Structure 1
Amino acid sequence: MDNQSIVSLVIYSLLACCGIMVIVWFWAHKIKNAGVVDIFWSYNFPVIAIILLLFAPGFETRKLLICSMVIIAGFRLGTHLAVRITKHLNEEEGRYQQLRNEWAPNAEKKFFFFFQFQAISNVLLAIPFFIITLNTAKQLSPFEYAGAALWLISVLGEAIADAQLAAFKKNPDNKGKICDTGLWGYSRHPNYFFEWLMWLSYFAFALASPYGYLAIISPAIILYLLLKVTGIPATEAQSLRSKGEAFKLYQQKTSVFIPWFKRS
């Protein structure tokens, strides 16, 4: 692994992501809605992918494949979040309202550092992409084909889950109700499951490259965050506050994470 190349690529990526998040923080501060950070957290991965595509020294076909995967997935998720969040820019999402209350009276200052941490997490989670795009081997491996296939399944699964939830919320008859149709009838968080599966696909793809085993860091971090920190705990806490007993009943009927397991 070329240490000089990877250090330069990490620095470029950090500067780009942190710079973007500074601009996003100013916008969030102006509109009093920290939820916009989610949009640009997703968009930062395509930014990193473009940097790697342009400057990483790896095999061009491999770079084009993995960077295309990252750009497509990041742009899809970021745009989905942008459509959802910009519909109620004047109404901050519940979990960010909770943080704002907990961090008062220094909420804006703490949100600045929170946004910068999100940028750093972009680069940390991009470890598989750095490893893959430094690989100069001229032939693709079965690991890379398997990773690409798993990525396709995960992106389609997440897109389906997002579309099902969006369609449910769009129906005025469902106002105040809990989405329990489609994949949401089996898992309370099928979108999170497929998001994690996508990161697992990047690990599988990276196994064909030198030091590829280090890429396990990314799906491990994502799984921890989803299960223990900012994903499922925050989302379910907000659902319990807003939906109460109805959500407790939904919890009893569905799996927390894996969408093909349904409780009897």
Structure 2
Amino acid sequence: MVTLLSLVFSSMFIFWVISQCVKNPGIVDIYWPFAFVLIAFYFWTINPNPSIYNLLAKLCILSWGFRLFTFLLITRVLPYHVEKRYDKLLKSKYYSFPIQMLFQFLTQVCLILIIATPIYFITSQPITELTILFIVGISLSIIGIIGETITDFQLFWYRENDVEHVCKVGLWRYSRHPNYFFDCLVWFGFSLIAMNVEYGYIALVSPLMLLYIMLVITIPVTESYSLAKRPKEYLRYQKETSKIVPWFRSH
């Protein structure tokens, strides 16, 4: 465990240094999927389980991480697209940008170590047989990865063509945050897979923590910026559209 913590914190420090060198706060976003992939690789090397079920689960985890890392790198970091939530960090008069970014990274590390719980179980013990939990878990994870990919590209494509209005194309017509829904689905699927091993039920803390963060922090902050930019249109969007779960519009 000490080796794992050393890897996670040292990689965090490297990413933090890079963010300071290039003056790009978006580096913290790509560290998120990178850290999960790092953790998966670490446990894979010390517990090379031969089970085909473990292998499928690990490939699913790596697919999620590589997909998100590549998407964020191409759409945010390389074009230097700074998210609104980082504007205050850049303009703060109370704490320097390096200190605030270090706090952002440390916060992420704490969350990552909790949310990565399914990875610990999936990679530490062999899954010896095909169970209903495994089938449902791997299916939900695959659906989640595909859905998250689709919704990310729908939003990216829309913002490239129209920055003045609220995105209501595709699944964004039925949910204000469909990408978050599919992300939760991915980690709920990983947790179900983890339940195939001893004490794997503990992994349920992962999607529950993720959902809590989204409902209490991420969504309110994101929507506050949208309301400030286009209050009437977004307020109507809130009234008509489900918050996370894709559902029929209310009008």
Taking structure 1 as the reference length, the TM-score comes to 0.88
Partner of residue 213 from structure 1, selected from 201, 206, 209: 201
1:202–1:233 CA distance, 2 compared to 1 (3 A): same
1:240–1:99 CA distance, 2 compared to 1 (3 A): farther
Q: Residue in 2 aligned with 1:141?
A: 131
Provide the rounded CA distance (Å) in 1 between the counterparts of 2:209 and 2:83: 24
Q: CA deviation at 1:137?
A: 4.9
**Does structure 1 conserve the Cα–Cα contact (< 8 Å) formed by 2:51 and 2:127?**
no
Question: Which amino acid is 2:11 matched to?
Answer: I
Question: Does the alignment pair 1:50 with 2:41?
Answer: yes
Q: Residue in 2 aligned with 1:34?
A: 25
Q: Residue in 1 aligned with 2:74?
A: 83
Question: Which amino acid is 1:199 matched to?
Answer: W
1:196–1:246 CA distance, 2 compared to 1 (3 A): same
Question: Which amino acid is 1:206 matched to?
Answer: A
**Does structure 2 conserve the Cα–Cα contact (< 8 Å) formed by 1:59 and 1:133?**
no
Partner of residue 105 from structure 2, selected from 101, 112, 115: 115
Question: Does the alignment pair 1:130 with 2:130?
Answer: no
Question: Does the alignment pair 1:63 with 2:59?
Answer: no
Provide the rounded CA distance (Å) in 2 between the counterparts of 1:44 and 1:87: 19
- Which deviates more, 214-223 or 78-87? 78-87
SS class of match (2:72): helix
The unaligned stretches of length 5 or more in structure 1 are 1-9
Q: CA deviation at 1:147?
A: 0.6
1:183–1:137 CA distance, 2 compared to 1 (3 A): closer
- Which deviates more, 78-87 or 195-204? 78-87
SS class of match (2:228): helix
**Does structure 1 conserve the Cα–Cα contact (< 8 Å) formed by 2:176 and 2:242?**
yes
- CA deviations 1:87-139 (Å, max 9, x no partner) are 541x5211011244457333421321321231232222111111122223532
Q: CA deviation at 1:224?
A: 0.5
Q: Residue in 2 aligned with 1:237?
A: 224
1:214–1:182 CA distance, 2 compared to 1 (3 A): same
Taking structure 2 as the reference length, the TM-score comes to 0.92
**Does structure 2 conserve the Cα–Cα contact (< 8 Å) formed by 1:17 and 1:122?**
no
Question: Which amino acid is 2:65 matched to?
Answer: G
Partner of residue 183 from structure 1, selected from 165, 171, 179: 171
Provide the rounded CA distance (Å) in 2 between the counterparts of 1:137 and 1:42: 24
Q: Residue in 1 aligned with 2:156?
A: 166
1:144–1:43 CA distance, 2 compared to 1 (3 A): same
SS class of match (1:220): helix
Provide the rounded CA distance (Å) in 2 between the counterparts of 1:71 and 1:49: 7
Q: CA deviation at 1:151?
A: 0.7
Q: CA deviation at 1:232?
A: 0.7
Provide the rounded CA distance (Å) in 2 between the counterparts of 1:227 and 1:138: 36
**Does structure 2 conserve the Cα–Cα contact (< 8 Å) formed by 1:14 and 1:119?**
no
- Which deviates more, 109-118 or 70-79? 109-118
Provide the rounded CA distance (Å) in 1 between the counterparts of 2:106 and 2:184: 22
Question: Does the alignment pair 1:23 with 2:14?
Answer: yes
The unaligned stretches of length 5 or more in structure 2 are none
**Does structure 1 conserve the Cα–Cα contact (< 8 Å) formed by 2:47 and 2:124?**
yes
Q: CA deviation at 1:11?
A: 2.9
User: How is 1:186-201 mapped onto 2 (pairs within 5 angstroms)?
Assistant: 186-201=174-189
Q: CA deviation at 1:17?
A: 2.0
Partner of residue 151 from structure 1, selected from 121, 133, 141: 141
For this pair of structures, how many residues does the alignment match? 251
